C-alpha cells in the first residue's frame, strides 16, 4: 500500500506578478508620488493604442472598499482619473483621425461587479437587477443586457439626457462600509 507524503502544515508562499506599482499616499514625497497623469501615461496610453489597433479595451479595478478604486478610475474635478483621461484622449484621437477619411463608432458601457452580481451603471431606470455574464462562441464573454450607448464625447458618456451624472457615485457600497475583501469593480 502506498501512502503519499503528508504535506507540511505550513503553507507555501504565494507569488503575485504585476506590471506597475504606484505610490499615491503622500503627494509631498515628490520623487515617489504617482499622480493621475503618471497612472494614465503608464496604463491609459497603451490601452488607447491597442484599441486603435482593433483590440477591445477594458479597464478593471479590484480591491478593498475605500482603497481608492473609484478615485483611480474616475478621479475628481481637479484630478481626473484614468477613465476621463482615456476618454478625452480617445475622442481627441478620433477627431484627429476622422479628418483622414476614417469613420468611427464609439460605444460605452459601465458596470459594477459586487458580491458576484453585475449591475449596469448606465441603466436609465436605475434598475438593481443582476445581469448575466455569457460567452459567445466567436466573440467571447459579454454581459447580457448591458447598456451600450453610442457617444461622441466624454460628457455624453457620463451624463443622462437631463444632464445628471450617471457614473460617478453609482457604487452599491457606501464608502464607509469597509470589508476585509471587496469584489467591487468598474469597467468601461
d(CA 133, CA 141) in angstroms, rounded, equals 7
Average pLDDT, the chain: 78
pLDDT 10s digits, 24-81: 878 888 888 889 999 999 999 999 999 888 887 777 888 888 888 888 888 988 999 9
Grid cell at residue 188: 468601461
pLDDT of residue 20: 81
Binding residues for ATP: 63-70
pLDDT 10s digits, 90-124: 999 988 888 767 788 888 888 888 888 899 988 87
pLDDT of residue 131 exceeding 90, the answer is yes
pLDDT of residue 134: 94
pLDDT of residue 146 exceeding 70, the answer is yes
Percent of the chain with pLDDT strictly greater than 90: 20
**From 3.30.310.50, 1.10.10.10, 3.40.850.10, 3.40.50.150, which CATH number describes the 36-187 domain?**
3.40.850.10
pLDDT of residue 140: 85
Which H or E run includes 154?
helix 154-158
Grid cell at residue 40: 494614465
Grid cell at residue 12: 507555501
d(CA 54, CA 51) in angstroms, rounded, equals 5
Binding residues: 63-70
pTM of the model: 0.69
| Higher pLDDT pick, 156 / 152 | 152
* Domain extents in the chain: 36-187
Amino acid at each position: 500500500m502506498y501512502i503519499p507524503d503528508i504535506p507540511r502544515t505550513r503553507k507555501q508562499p504565494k507569488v503575485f506578478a504585476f506590471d506597475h506599482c504606484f505610490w499615491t499616499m503622500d503627494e509631498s514625497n515628490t520623487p515617489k508620488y504617482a499622480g493621475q497623469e503618471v497612472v494614465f501615461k503608464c496604463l491609459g496610453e497603451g490601452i488607447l493604442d491597442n484599441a486603435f489597433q482593433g483590440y477591445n479595451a477594458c479597464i478593471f479595478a479590484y480591491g478593498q472598499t475605500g482603497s481608492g478604486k473609484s478615485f483611480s478610475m474616475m478621479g475628481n474635478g481637479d484630478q481626473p482619473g484614468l477613465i476621463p483621461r482615456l476618454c478625452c484622449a480617445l475622442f481627441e484621437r478620433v477627431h484627429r483621425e476622422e479628418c483622414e477619411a476614417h469613420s468611427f463608432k464609439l460605444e460605452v458601457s459601465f458596470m459594477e461587479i459586487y458580491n458576484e452580481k453585475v449591475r449596469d451603471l448606465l441603466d436609465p431606470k436605475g434598475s438593481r437587477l443582476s445581469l448575466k455574464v455569457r460567452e459567445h462562441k466567436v466573440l467571447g464573454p459579454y454581459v447580457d443586457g448591458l447598456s451600450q450607448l453610442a457617444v461622441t464625447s466624454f460628457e455624453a458618456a457620463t451624463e443622462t439626457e437631463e444632464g445628471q451624472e450617471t457614473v460617478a457615485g453609482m457604487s452599491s457600497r457606501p464608502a464607509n462600509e469597509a470589508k476585509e475583501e471587496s469584489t467591487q469593480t468598474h469597467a468601461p
